[in-house]
Structure 1
Amino acid sequence: MLICPQCEFENPEDHKYCQSCGISLTDKICCQCRENIPIEAKICSFCNAVNHTILWAVIAQKIVIEESEDREKNQITNDIVPEEKKIEIDNLSDFFTKNPDRAIPGLKIQANSETISSRYEAEDEPSPIPYLQTTADSLNKTILQGKVIDKYPLQKSHLATLQKQQMDLFAELSQDLSNSYLSVTQYWNLVGVPTHALPYLILEKYTPTIPKIYDAWQQRDRGVVLLPDRSQWKLMTELWSQQKLPLLQIIWFLDEMAKLWEPLHQISCAQSLLVNDNLRIDEDQSFCFQQLYMDSIDNPPNLKDLVTAWQLCFAESNLDCIDNLNQLLDRVISGEIIEVEQLRLELHNLGLGEDEIESFDIHSNYHSVNIPQPESNNIEPHNDLENTKEQSFFDEADNDMIYSSEFEEQATAMIPMELRCINNASCTDIGSQRDHNEDFFGMRTVIEETENNTDSSLNVNGLYLVCDGMGGHAAGEVASAMAVESLQKYFKTQWQGDLPDRETIEQGILLTNETLYQTNIDNSRSGSGRMGTTLVMALLHNTRMAIAHVGDSRIYRITRKQGLEQLTLDHEVGQREINRGVEPDIAYGRPDAYQLTQALGPRENNYVRPDIQFMEITEDCLLLLCSDGLCDNYLLEENWQQYLKPLISSDTNLQEGLFDLVNFANEYNGHDNITAILVRVKLKPDF
């Protein structure tokens, strides 16, 4: 199967265009000059830009343990007994070119009716491939690592195929660590997953700090793991050396690493935090790993090793004026501090000072690797309910890591965050089954930027609106447009500085309802002939946000830690019954379950009760405002990881990503108009 790079649809091997979105499966667009070039081209023939997919390979080859050594250890850690004691390969080029007959079936690719013996090849430019490391890891293996090229990036990976075949097994892996981590490795090797691939799969929720695995397979005595190539990313020590960073920013980096100590220690990968060349900085200057390193079974690292590694980073970066910090780290080395949460507490107190400590649960930043995330609200999917939506209105009368130490309940200080950047995108589509579009949206973002030699800051006010109109004789599209224009005009005069208060927001919504209602009266509209509209609205001032809604249009928040969160609850009969204590299955078993209980326009202000919430943005996120044509039938709940989660990263195109989501929604739903606004908020510590 060929995986479409745009919509990830699986196409037959001989197809030249994606059956789902129609893009070419034989050509691609050059990343630099935007000309069409062959999909397998490494270098653009027009501008000579590099265009191939470069990966970082980590190949583990078993070292044979002599019979005189610990036989039990050999049994626990042995993946597949090698045929020879001699290590046969010296570099990546040898591995990907020698003995092609030993390649596993999943890596054979059909192209132009010819069998390609190897999908991946070692990159021979611009520098030689690194040779075997001289040290062995905890599984008695030597590690070969370096860059490789995926010659057929459209081909489904062996790991993806295996995950689809063993879906239940992989789901269990991420939830159950009740058995010893090393005791289950032989079982995973038998299904084709190398031992050193398991940590990436278990800790996938920590992406992108921990790289997401690209492919993996077991090939006799060798386990192969392919990762995104981060070898060119800036080292953390480089950043520390090149910029004069304030103490608080250094403490923030240390705390980011300390957060991961327990999850990594739990699966024997804490060594990853101790290798200076492994600590990288991404495009948002956030801490990331290049890869994971396995701990030694006999001598796993402890907290003293972690702070010793930090001190080596200080020395390499020529950091000075950190006497207080070094004194704190010396307390760990001396044994005075033995718990990582106590270390984090002391770091925060050192950074902010006793007078500035705010209440903050230190454990709120953790997500356990063996505790399931709480389920989201049980809200049933919608169908094509536009008519019942209109009629109903007139029939109604109205994550965490667990510790047991004494510091578990201790509060500490949180480093305040500020805006790094903000981007937005919008899209509206008539849908595949409608003859006109009754949705309407509006956006207004005002950005004031202040910059000097050493710093820059943003002051942002953003107003985002989505309305889904309803009513006969094209009245729905009139109502939604009127609502957006009325609210934009209102807030242009009523909102000048900080976020408006609850009363101001509610007054703007009620004035809009009054305008629509009076228009209905003036035009002698009654019953289901009255025009109306839903409303979902977000007001953003820097890292503070207010949201309001009337009806069943929704707002979602997407973060790497919490995933997809629905921030609004639909104003409809089924949800109203759930709020009254009725079981969800019974509430949404009613024939009128999806009928609206609130909307703007059909009724006077006494019957309009907008829900208004205020919240703080504390991490990078996406905000999605949408009409129900996008979110019906669990579309977002089941597909957000594919279409939305990647867009949190600054190096993705927000507008193109939204287009892809709306195109998919037309195939998945398509029964209604589809409208969405995406806002990407990126934060940085306020040092």
Structure 2
Amino acid sequence: MTTAQRSISRYLWAAERQATWIPAERLVEDRYHVIAPQLWLDTKPQAPPDIFFPLPHQASAYAHLYQYKLHLPQLHGFCTLKRSGETIEIPLLDNIPVDNEGKLLPSLSEAWSTATPLHQAYWLWQAIDLWAPLAGTGVLSSLIQIENLRVDGWCLRLCELISDRSTGNPKVTLAKLGALWQENLPGAAPEIADRLENLYDKMQAEKASLRDVSRELNKITLERAAQLPLQWQIAGGTDAGATHQHNEDSYYPTPLDLTHDSTGGKIAIICDGIAGHDGGEVASQMAVKLLKIQTQTLFDSLVNSPELVSPEQICNAISAIVRVVNNTITAQNQSQERTELRRMGTTMVMALQVNQRIRNRNSVGNSHEIYIAHVGDSRAYWITPHRCQLLTIDDDIATREVKQGRDLPWHSANRPDAAALTQALGMKPGELIHPTVQRFMAIEDGILLLCSDGLSDRHLVESSWQDYAERILQTEMPLTEAVQSWLALAHRQNGDDNISLVLMSCQVSATDSQIHSSQLVPRHPDDTDADDLEPEPQFRFNRAIYLFLFLTTTLGFGAAIAIAITFFHPEWVDTWRQQLLPSSPQTQLQRQIDRSRAE
């Protein structure tokens, strides 16, 4: 099936309990076909749904939590019905947990008994990771309705957001969640059953700690992931497009970079110089160089760390790196008196496969963590043979209007200024830049795609990924060939812009050949089992990461200045070298003799 032949069905969730009385096969409002209770198929997906401005109160939670759309649905519109003389406004949700055939994905309790211990631990960690943002919007009840929690492979997803007030439970606690898990998730994998039972008990204690629960689940997840093999392949490319004389995109790694790459292909970067801004090409090149330098330092420190560093701390370190790079480009703009459209600017998306070393009984394994950082509208996708998941949210006017509760996603996307950026590197001081940094786990075979908007525009990724996913993962199509094929497709369909992408193919399937060639390190005889390790004091984690942040900011800023000078004033470098470096060893000897005579 070609991309032109594919059509995307729009399945919606009727987020109103009174919608459950509508029987299957009914056609609502001559438009919505009822597939199952609360699950509707929009038979007129090109027509706009009913919407109300200003948006009703129930829209606020979806707006404020829009950045978590990987896990949560979004408000699409409304359907107004009358029953027994009463008008009912039914919120219709998009981006819901259904498969391509419109079948609701398995609930957490349904998938639990056959899941691997790694999937079980990671699903629970994701639920805990959503606790704080859902608490801030008064919808924690969404996590204690077990049928509301669905699983999409590795990813935990919710059918809808449930207001705490609507359930009569304004005080949702960790104890309630722990009791829910204990009752509805029996039969945990034997490898982690005891640890989960202890965790459930701690959650129901009088002074349960969200941080402690998250830390324990993260530890279990990393230890289980480290027992899987992990192989990466990486390839990237760029194309100026059909209508451009030069290319403002930059990316890492290039084929030349891969010939002497010391990271094992585990750092990928796309930077797109802002079109219409003088110096966009220079800004994207600077950003790639600086991000590579500073991220390599972080990468090395994490690989060599004797203790686990939490996702929150790593996210903070990456955010600090992005701000240092931003400040360097901003300082260059100021030194050259660049204002408004003359300012250098660039978007960025970066992926880092963190290799924290987890000790197991027979080896030291990779923690399988992937960190994604982005500013602007360059994107990251996770692709498997069965799904394509957008991991990032564009920093543009359309997103801003949705997050501030003034518009709905589909409606905001049709604004004339929808694609105008709200932030990019080099355009404002670091304290005003808000990079988004997220942690994911590579626990299934998949492909990480980073790209500039030259590839993602016009939904090209969503309409073409199936032509590549299975062939890449089955090694029928080399990554380099896939890159060139996708660039050619974008050149034909999105050729009015520069196009760049990096593909990172991840293999974790435990075949015999992969186990022998995977990145497992033989265990030292003096190493102890991970389960026997005493936890290190928390201040050591904090001290290490704060020290790293200080060093990377200081050294990175110095390196940034050096690179900037090399870019714009190479003649200064030659002058300083002549002044600071002696012309020959004999000159140094003569100076020593002169000093001795003077003494």
TM-score (norm 2): 0.46
Q: Determine which structure has more spread, i.e. the larger CA radius of gyration.
A: 1
